Chain A
């Protein structure tokens, strides 16, 4: 199967911070993507990392370490509307996206 892994489910509290990890193994790499998917809807693009380091975009930040095959999505000041699945995907040497199974994030009041 595809060598990309992320937790199945996470729970966090409204207003708090949560970090969703993603690990992958690939010989060819053209970037790491994070998408948000609400139930019954298509994914929406959140972030893209191709170089090591942290990319910040409002309440969401994404980090990449290519040497470790590791990325995380950091969500701050959680809101109830952030309850969704978060999909990480890496782009391989053929520019094809390889998707993780998604992390279902549950936000509690």
Chain B
């Protein structure tokens, strides 16, 4: 089946640090990748839709200058949390849609990155 690799799986860093999270589709190409954030006991919240070769589409309330997204190839999207603060601590999950699949097909999820800002 389709595999999405997300790295790192766990990050602990000091306040003010910038953190980069990678999302790779290993055995398929993805023009579209999605970045979610999930706080404890809450639902997945879509942060942005990452489109290969173009700017990401951010959801309302998500600061594009704080959460930088780059989708430079059909298999890699990165999310950089700039100048992270404790309130940015969360579980960040990426998902990808196979380029050859219909738009209503399931997204394939990475394993998530748990970010803890001290």
Which residue of chain A has the shortest Cβ distance to B34 in the bound complex?
A97
Which residue of chain B has the shortest Cβ distance to A31 in the bound complex?
B104
Specify which chain A residues have a CB less than 8 angstroms from the CB of B91 in the assembled complex.
40
Number of residues from A at the complex interface, CB < 8 A: 21
Which residue of chain A has the shortest Cβ distance to B6 in the bound complex?
A42
Specify which chain A residues have a CB less than 8 angstroms from the CB of B74 in the assembled complex.
none
Are the CB atoms of B43 and A45 closer together than 8 Å? no
Are the CB atoms of B43 and A87 closer together than 8 Å? yes
Which residue of chain A has the shortest Cβ distance to B91 in the bound complex?
A40
| Alpha-carbon gap, A41 to B6, bound state (A) | 12
| Alpha-carbon gap, A50 to B104, bound state (A) | 9
Are the CB atoms of B104 and A43 closer together than 8 Å? no
Are the CB atoms of A96 and B43 closer together than 8 Å? no
Specify which chain A residues have a CB less than 8 angstroms from the CB of B49 in the assembled complex.
96
**Is A91 in contact with chain B by the CB < 8 A criterion?**
yes
Specify which chain B residues have a CB less than 8 angstroms from the CB of A97 in the assembled complex.
34, 46, 107
Are the CB atoms of B44 and A44 closer together than 8 Å? no
Interface residues of A (CB under 8 A from B): 30-31, 33, 40-45, 48, 50, 87, 89, 91, 95-97, 99-102
Interface residues of B (CB under 8 A from A): 6, 34, 42-46, 49, 91, 93, 103-112, 114
6 A-B pairs with C-beta separation under 8 A: A41-B111, A43-B109, A44-B109, A95-B103, A95-B104, A97-B46
